[in-house]
Chains A and B, each alone.
Chain A
C-alpha cells in the first residue's frame, strides 16, 4: 500500500511536469512567432546583381524655381530596367521626405519601367503620382525634367521617354505638362539647363 502523502507528492510532481511542458511549448511558439515577425519586418537583402553607387540626382527646388544636382548613395541593380526604376525611385524618395524641396503626394512611386526599343523607355507611375501632384505649369515641368535628366545621367542610351499613369496614357500630369508625347531627352536637357 502506497502511503497517502507519497501519492499526493507524485501527483504534484506529475502536475508540475505537465504545467512546465505547457509553458515550454507556449514559449517556443511565441519565440518562433517573434523570430518570423522580425524576419518579415527586416529589410530584405538585395537578391539582385548590383551594387551601391554614388550617383547624382537632379532635384527640383520649388521656392527657387531651380533644378540642382545632388549626390546620393543608391543600390542600383545591374539589369538596365531595374537600374532605371531604382534611379527614378531615388528621386521620388527625396520629394517624399519631410521637409521636401518639391513635395509630392504620398504613394507617388514608379510601378514599372520598360524599353520598347533600345533607346525608348516607358515609365509607368502610380495613380497617386499624378492624382496628387500639385497643379501648375512650372511645378509639373520641374518634376518631369528632374526625373528625365536624372534617368539619362545614370542610365546611358535613353533618347525618348514616355510616362504612363497606372498603366494608362494620361493627357497631362496635373492639368498642364504633356504626358501624351514622347519626351526627347536631348530637348529636356536643354530645358533643364535653363533652371540649373
Chain B
C-alpha cells in the first residue's frame, strides 16, 4: 500500500517508492464515471524514446521492460472479472505513474452501476473486484514462475 489515508503523494513519488521497494506488481485503483462495469488499463508508451546505455532507463519509459507482463496482467484480471459476471473493458492507456514503474503495472477503474454513485461503495462489489485482481496476480506469478 502506498497510502493508508487520503494524503497527497505526487505521482512521481508513487513511482519512486514502488521502484525503490522493488515491488512485484503495481495496481492503481480508481472509481468514477462514465459508463458501466470495470475498466482495466495496461500502460501504453506514447514516446518511443530509446533507452539510455547502461543501467539507466528514461523516466517516461521506465515501464518499457515490463510492458508485455503488464498487458498480460491486465488481460488476466479482465478475464477474472468477466468470469465473475462484470462488464469489462481492457484498454491500453498512457497513464501516470504506470509508465514510470519498472514492474508490471495496471490501473483498474470501477464505474457506477447504471449511474448509481452509491454502487461504488458496495462492499460486495469491491470484494469481487479485489478477488479478481488477486487471482489475476496469482496467475501472472505462476506463469512467470513456470517460465523460470
**Taking beta carbons and an 8 Å cutoff, which residues of A are in contact with B?**
62-65, 134-139, 141, 160, 171-172, 176-178, 180-184, 187-188, 191, 194
Q: Are A62 and B33 in contact (CB under 8 A)?
A: yes
Residue B32 at the A interface, CB < 8 A? yes
Query: Roughly how many angstroms separate A141 CA and B46 CA in the complex, as a whole number?
Result: 12
- In the complex, chain B residues whose CB is within 8 Å of the CB of A182: 46-47
Name 26 interchain pairs, CB-CB below 8 A, sorted by A. Answer: A63-B35, A65-B89, A134-B33, A135-B32, A136-B32, A137-B109, A138-B35, A138-B109, A141-B93, A171-B11, A171-B12, A172-B96, A176-B30, A176-B95, A176-B96, A176-B107, A177-B93, A178-B46, A181-B46, A181-B47, A184-B46, A187-B44, A187-B45, A187-B94, A188-B46, A191-B93
Min CB distance B37 to A, Å, is: 10
**Taking beta carbons and an 8 Å cutoff, which residues of B are in contact with A?**
10-12, 30, 32-35, 39, 41, 44-48, 60, 89, 91-96, 99, 107, 109
How would you classify the secondary structure of chain A's contact residues: helix, strand, loop or mixed?
mixed
Min CB distance A70 to B, Å, is: 18
Min CB distance A62 to B, Å, is: 4
Which interface residue of B34, B96, B99, B109 has the most chain A CB atoms within 10 A?
B34
- In the complex, chain A residues whose CB is within 8 Å of the CB of B34: 62-63, 65, 136, 138-139
- In the complex, chain B residues whose CB is within 8 Å of the CB of A139: 32-34
